[in-house]
Amino acid sequence: MTTTNTHKTRRTFAIISHPDAGKTTLTEKLLLFGGAIHLAGDVKAKGDRRRAHSDWMKIEQARGISVTTSVMTFEYDGCTFNLLDTPGHEDFSDDTYRTLTAVDSAVMVIDAAKGIEAQTQKLFEVCRLRDVPIMTFVNKMDRETRDPFELMDEITEKLALDVTPMTWPVDQGKQFQGCYDLRKDQMILFGDAKKEKKGSLPGILPCQGTDDAKLKEILSDDQHAKLVEDVEMVKGLCPEFDLESYREGHLSPVYFGSALKDFGVQDLLDGIKEFAPSPRPQETESREVNPDEPKVSGFVFKVQANMDPNHRDRIAFMRICSGTFKRGMKLLNTASAKTLSISNPIFFFSQGRELADDAVAGDIIGIPNHGTIRVGDTLSEGEKIMFTGIPDFAPEILRRVRLGDPMKAKHLERALHSLAEEGVTQVFRPMLGSDWIVGVVGTLQLDVLKDRLDAEYNLEVDFEATQYITARWVSASGEKANDNLKKFIDSNRASLGEDRDKTPVYLARNNWDLDRAQSDYKEIKFSEVRERGR
């Protein structure tokens, strides 16, 4: 890395949005500004192909593409930006949630014609769980849009989030003139509008407030009058920008722009650099780990296997939480109690991978391994700590796996475990019976699972409906925890299974069953989310 190697210069973030809001286009433009790519089109091509289910799977199989875009590192103005990709398809997977546990902030992209859409809201809720600070980018201002005030209201109401516009648009669609920068008091002219005026106007016009004569020259009377009125209203209605409130996740600074037309992207990038937090302290089961600590620690939020079908390799994505990692270091995996020598760690640039010689808190390194590292694992320089917070979510779709060739049962078991460790699926084994049950959050995950079992493990499977609607992890605490749990298990074997770590799960046939079990066994906890280590 070329910038100063301190975690203070790191901005590790994700973009959250509903499909089609412009995440891919914005990503591409951010990378262009960061000099990470020179050809527009790299990322876009992926966005296009990703839309079709079958094509999306092809990409999943062509591991290279999927992985180089899982994390993209670029530099801009003395900072290193680590952009983590949250899958953009409509189906949700646990992977998306886990990726969001590895970022320090997020950018929420909203289509100016549509406002807050379902997927944006879901992803926002996940960010809120961890108080991840959010910047908002209102995209597609070069098209017909909704009224910006209406959009601000919608964010405030639907997400219960305060907003502070950092820029304010002047007109929209074909008439879009650019934005007034409310903090710096300057007009940022939109390229197309500038071209139309044919003058040699600079891109940015410093102003003495909205009454500035320069503004009257370049805007129509109506546009100018509206800008004056709007800015007054914004100042009256929206709270002033407050860094602390943003960093605590209560307030979102808002930028307007057009990713497609390169407008507003630099303002956003400058905003991330200036306001977004550098790596934050992270919780472990025993103590908080500060990024300033000298010893290396980190957690694995994603594992991707079989990136190269010729080698059964796996890459574990580790977010560094403290210390300065050096290539060749030996790190302890708390969960397995094994010490691993990290000799070939990699960084992910959009052009490809590079050997990682050193990395600091906030950086993501890829660690090739043969199944010794799992999602949720903590690696450290010897201290037995366990980062908390990487969740498994109760699956909403449970299917029984039917194997084409029954002779391959052992092989299936290994494949399912391996894919479960990657987070592609969850696996359960009913306490009575020998079939495997897979659990997923969205149906697309089932297609991917079937496809990968076939392509990578040579296993033909089908999925059959089960009588189960969801699963809950069961546990007990307190003095008689073991007795209570045993009693519950003994009386409910037919409705119980175990997950891949042999943790008991209640497989519910319907909500009524679940409610009854919960009221009959008050001493048992039924959890929708399971945090394994993290």
Which residues of this chain interact with ligand G4P, rule CB under 6 A?
Answer: 17, 19-25, 44, 47-48, 88, 139-140, 142-143, 258-260
Q: Which is nearer to ligand G4P, 27 or 426 (CB)?
A: 27
Residue given tokens 């199989």 in the structure block: 61
Burial class (CB in 10 A: 0-12, 13-18, 19+), 239: exposed
Give dist(CA 178, CA 170) in Å, integer.
6
Closest distance of CB 426 from ligand G4P, Å: 27
| Cβ pair 3, 9 in contact under 8 A | yes
Q: Where do the H-state alpha helices sit in 210-304?
A: 213-218, 221-237, 243-247, 265-275
Closest distance of CB 116 from ligand G4P, Å: 14
Closest distance of CB 477 from ligand G4P, Å: 43
Per DSSP, 407 falls in state: G
Q: Which is nearer to ligand G4P, 174 or 480 (CB)?
A: 174
- Count of other CB atoms within 10 angstroms of residue 220: 13
Give dist(CA 265, CA 279) in Å, integer.
23
Q: Which is nearer to ligand G4P, 55 or 483 (CB)?
A: 55
Q: Which is nearer to ligand G4P, 241 or 263 (CB)?
A: 263
* Kind of pairing between the strands at 504-508 and 470-476: antiparallel
**Helices H / strands E in the chain, number of each:** 16, 33
- Kindly give, in sequence order, each residue whose CB lies less than 8 Å from that of residue 144, ignoring residues fewer than 6 positions away: 113, 172, 173
Q: Which is nearer to ligand G4P, 117 or 185 (CB)?
A: 117
Closest distance of CB 173 from ligand G4P, Å: 9
Q: Which is nearer to ligand G4P, 172 or 210 (CB)?
A: 172
Give dist(CA 360, CA 342) in Å, integer.
15
Closest distance of CB 24 from ligand G4P, Å: 3
Closest distance of CB 58 from ligand G4P, Å: 17
Q: Which is nearer to ligand G4P, 24 or 61 (CB)?
A: 24
Please give the structure tokens belonging to residue 214: 């320069």
Q: Which is nearer to ligand G4P, 88 or 442 (CB)?
A: 88
Please give the structure tokens belonging to residue 340: 């691993």
Closest distance of CB 43 from ligand G4P, Å: 8
Closest distance of CB 172 from ligand G4P, Å: 11
E strand spans, 5-133: 10-17, 71-76, 79-84, 105-111
Nearest to 389 by CA among 439, 324, 445, 319: 319
Residue given tokens 């899982």 in the structure block: 70
Please give the structure tokens belonging to residue 113: 């014609």
Q: Which is nearer to ligand G4P, 22 or 423 (CB)?
A: 22
Please give the structure tokens belonging to residue 421: 């460790």
Closest distance of CB 315 from ligand G4P, Å: 24
